[in-house]
């Protein structure tokens, strides 16, 4: 099977699985948003930030390194898996003791109890790293999709039942624990890892160089992505964090759930061509354009439909999230394209450059977060994040295009000009129809969607970019 066909089939399977999962999650989250208060989501959002950090410590870049290294045998996989289990126990225990610091930092002892419970979530998440990587390495994207759908629906129902019975934020705690537990059980069962006797460090030495840079990038990226939640929760309160967190997460839906249809497939498939940079380049440039054309539609639509989206998703109790979401929606197209870049640094073996661009990105993002927190205005923080994403896009793609692919960065930017043209046509359409007022939020969202589709289609026709999309969709 050709690389194009593997990539396309992988994307189709992942697309079906991912969007089945999205529909289920949207329904579950919409119900939970009406059962729980912003303060309750804010409490969990704070501790979740630190869960992500400890998961990164446990990952250590092992997952991508297993996918990239094609010479690992069953004994070496077994050794790495046993190492990850030991690491999971140590890190989960450390997370529990760290919760005492969280309780002190936020002056709320509830985090000690939550830390104890959520340490089990950390344990199972880290244990799942190797089984999950094995399934991805085998390119069994269908299996991963089925596991995620089944687990999310089952656990989502349990979470709703707990919330209905007054379990407050504990319902969200058990949601995290049960998801990590069930996903680990299924992944371990279907990865068919054969645990061998004995232990040798040779397997770790084989992936050490690659995994080290991957870990360092993940470590830096963690603080880049989570410093806002940490500081908002501390200085602006859990209620403000609840509104911000919901705005940010709903903005991330298209970013994660569209790019995550493609990026999990990119690394396993393109890593087989790590010595053929030209193949990776031309394949990836098509992916970038598809993400950009989809992203610009979503960005513009979300900006002009922020009120409808928030109220449909979460209800009128979350109206304070609307202006934050409107600002953050500007960055959707940028983040959709930018979030795919890590898979290419991984597939080409340039994880050192992934790390270096991550450091520069962190500097931009942390600066804007600090300015927003000092101003004590979440909208200022959101504007700063959008600006930082723009700077990060430029510097990351400059390194990728010029230093990895040895191509012209100017030509790359010129190739993206039609994205701006299409977005501008959509904006004109919304401005010209701004006098149309519909009081029902669902009908209003539909009307704006129709306006967006019409103007977007006009933009595709005028720029003739519909030909590219048609060729990618219908040709192998």
Question: What confidence tens digit (pLDDT) does each residue in 122-133 have?
Answer: 999 889 988 888
Let me know if residue 333 belongs to a domain.
yes
Q: How confident is the model at residue 387 (pLDDT cuts 50, 70, 90)?
A: very high
Let me know if residue 107 belongs to a domain.
yes
Indicate whether 303 pLDDT > 90: yes
Are 143 and 264 part of one and the same domain? no
Q: Which of 390, 434, 439 is nearest to 416 (CA)?
A: 390
Torsion of CA 61, 62, 63, 65, to 10 degrees: 90
Are 189 and 282 part of one and the same domain? no
Are 197 and 246 part of one and the same domain? no
Are 198 and 279 part of one and the same domain? no
Written as six digits, the tokens of 333 are 């197209």
Residue 196's pLDDT is: 75
User: What CA–CA distance (Å, rounded) separates 175 from 171?
Assistant: 6
Let me know if residue 304 belongs to a domain.
yes
Indicate whether 208 pLDDT > 80: no
Specify the range with the lowest mean pLDDT, choosing from 162-166, 306-310, 441-445.
162-166
Domain encompassing residue 353: 236-476
Are 309 and 410 part of one and the same domain? yes
Question: What confidence tens digit (pLDDT) does each residue in 57-85 have?
Answer: 766 667 667 776 666 777 888 888 888 88
Q: How confident is the model at residue 139 (pLDDT cuts 50, 70, 90)?
A: confident
What is the phi/psi pair of residue 315, to 5°?
95, 170
Residue 35's pLDDT is: 77
Residue 192's pLDDT is: 83
Torsion of CA 220, 294, 257, 20, to 10 degrees: -170
Are 328 and 476 part of one and the same domain? yes
Let me know if residue 19 belongs to a domain.
no
Mean pLDDT throughout 190-210?
70
Residue 242's pLDDT is: 79
Question: What confidence tens digit (pLDDT) does each residue in 230-270 have?
Answer: 788 888 887 788 788 888 888 887 776 666 655 555 555 55
138 vs 120, residue with greater confidence: 120
- The DSSP secondary structure of 70-94, one letter per residue, reads S---HHHHHHHHHHHHHHHHHHHHH
What is the phi/psi pair of residue 329, to 5°?
-65, -25
Q: How many domains does the chain have?
A: 2
User: What CA–CA distance (Å, rounded) separates 432 from 75?
Assistant: 65
Per-range mean pLDDT, top range of 113-122, 356-365, 421-430:
421-430
Indicate whether 22 pLDDT > 90: no
Are 204 and 284 part of one and the same domain? no
Question: What confidence tens digit (pLDDT) does each residue in 319-374 have?
Answer: 888 999 999 999 999 998 888 887 778 777 777 888 888 888 888 888 999 998 89
Let me know if residue 134 belongs to a domain.
yes
Are 58 and 202 part of one and the same domain? yes
Residue 393's pLDDT is: 94
- The DSSP secondary structure of 398-413, one letter per residue, reads HHIIIIIS---HHHHH
Q: How confident is the model at residue 21 (pLDDT cuts 50, 70, 90)?
A: low
Question: What is the H or E stretch that residue 442 is in?
Answer: helix 441-463
| Percent of the chain at pLDDT exceeding 90 | 26
Let me know if residue 16 belongs to a domain.
no
Let me know if residue 45 belongs to a domain.
yes
CA dist list (Å): 379 to 243, 250, 390: 11, 16, 17
Specify the range with the lowest mean pLDDT, choosing from 19-23, 113-117, 329-333.
19-23
211, 227, 259 - which closes a domain: 211
Q: How confident is the model at residue 476 (pLDDT cuts 50, 70, 90)?
A: very low
List Cβ neighbours of 174 (8 Å cut-off, separation of 6 or more).
117, 158, 159, 162, 167
Are 279 and 354 part of one and the same domain? yes
Are 113 and 154 part of one and the same domain? yes
Residues in the chain: 476
Q: Which of 51, 60, 42 is nearest to 98 (CA)?
A: 51
Are 197 and 242 part of one and the same domain? no
Q: What is the pTM of this model?
A: 0.68
Let me know if residue 255 belongs to a domain.
yes
Q: How confident is the model at residue 446 (pLDDT cuts 50, 70, 90)?
A: very high
Residue 51's pLDDT is: 83
Residue 328's pLDDT is: 94
What is the phi/psi pair of residue 178, to 5°?
-65, -40
User: What CA–CA distance (Å, rounded) separates 330 from 348?
Assistant: 30
Indicate whether 475 pLDDT > 60: no
Torsion of CA 46, 223, 237, 108, to 10 degrees: 50
Mean pLDDT throughout 277-287?
78
Residue 14's pLDDT is: 59
Are 151 and 273 part of one and the same domain? no
211, 226, 245 - which closes a domain: 211
Mean pLDDT of the chain: 81
Residue 171's pLDDT is: 84
Q: How confident is the model at residue 457 (pLDDT cuts 50, 70, 90)?
A: very high
Per-range mean pLDDT, top range of 69-78, 388-397, 464-473:
388-397
211, 227, 253 - which closes a domain: 211
User: What CA–CA distance (Å, rounded) separates 408 from 425?
Assistant: 28
């Amino acid at each position: 099977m050709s690389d194009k066909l593997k990539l396309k089939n992988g994307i189709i399977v992942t697309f079906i699985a991912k969007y089945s999962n999205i529909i289920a999650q949207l329904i579950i989250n919409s119900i939970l948003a009406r059962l729980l208060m912003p303060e309750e989501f804010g409490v969990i959002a704070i501790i979740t930030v630190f869960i992500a950090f400890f998961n990164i410590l446990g990952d250590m870049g092992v997952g991508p390194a297993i996918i990239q290294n094609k010479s690992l045998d069953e004994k070496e996989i077994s050794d790495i898996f046993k190492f990850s289990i030991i690491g999971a126990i140590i890190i989960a225990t450390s997370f529990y003791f760290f919760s005492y610091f969280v309780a002190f930092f936020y002056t709320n002892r509830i985090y000690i109890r939550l830390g104890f419970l959520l340490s089990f979530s950390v344990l199972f998440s880290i244990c799942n790293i190797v089984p999950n990587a094995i399934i991805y390495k085998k390119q069994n994207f269908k299996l991963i999709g089925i596991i995620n759908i089944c687990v999310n629906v089952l656990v989502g129902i349990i979470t709703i039942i707990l919330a209905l019975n007054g379990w407050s934020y504990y319902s969200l705690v058990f949601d995290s624990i049960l998801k990590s537990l069930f996903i680990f059980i299924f992944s371990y069962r279907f990865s068919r890892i054969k645990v061998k006797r004995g232990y040798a460090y040779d397997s770790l030495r084989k992936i050490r160089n690659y995994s080290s840079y991957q870990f360092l990038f993940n470590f830096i990226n963690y603080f880049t992505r989570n410093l806002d939640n940490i500081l908002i929760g501390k200085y602006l309160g859990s209620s403000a964090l609840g509104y911000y967190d919901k705005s940010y997460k709903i903005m991330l839906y298209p970013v994660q759930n569209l790019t995550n249809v493609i990026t999990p497939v990119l690394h396993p498939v393109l890593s087989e061509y790590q010595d053929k940079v030209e193949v990776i380049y031309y394949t990836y440039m098509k992916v970038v354009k598809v993400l950009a054309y989809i992203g610009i539609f979503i960005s513009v639509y979300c900006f002009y439909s922020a009120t409808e989206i928030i109220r449909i998703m979460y209800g009128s109790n979350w109206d304070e999230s609307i202006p934050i979401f409107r600002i953050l929606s500007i960055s959707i197209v940028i983040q959709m394209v930018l979030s795919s870049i890590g898979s290419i640094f991984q597939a080409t073996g340039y994880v050192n450059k992934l790390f270096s661009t991550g450091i520069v990105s962190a500097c931009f993002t942390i600066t804007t977060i600090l300015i927003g927190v000092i101003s004590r205005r979440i909208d200022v923080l959101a504007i700063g994040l959008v600006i930082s994403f723009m700077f990060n896009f430029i510097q990351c793609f400059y390194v990728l295009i010029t230093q990895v692919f040895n191509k012209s960065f100017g030509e790359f930017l010129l190739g993206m000009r039609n994205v701006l043209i299409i977005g501008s046509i959509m904006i004109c359409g919304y401005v010209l129809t701004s006098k149309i007022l519909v009081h029902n939020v669902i009908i209003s969202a539909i009307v704006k969607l129709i306006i967006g589709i019409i103007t977007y289609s006009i933009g595709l026709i005028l720029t003739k970019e519909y030909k590219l999309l048609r060729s990618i969709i219908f040709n192998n």
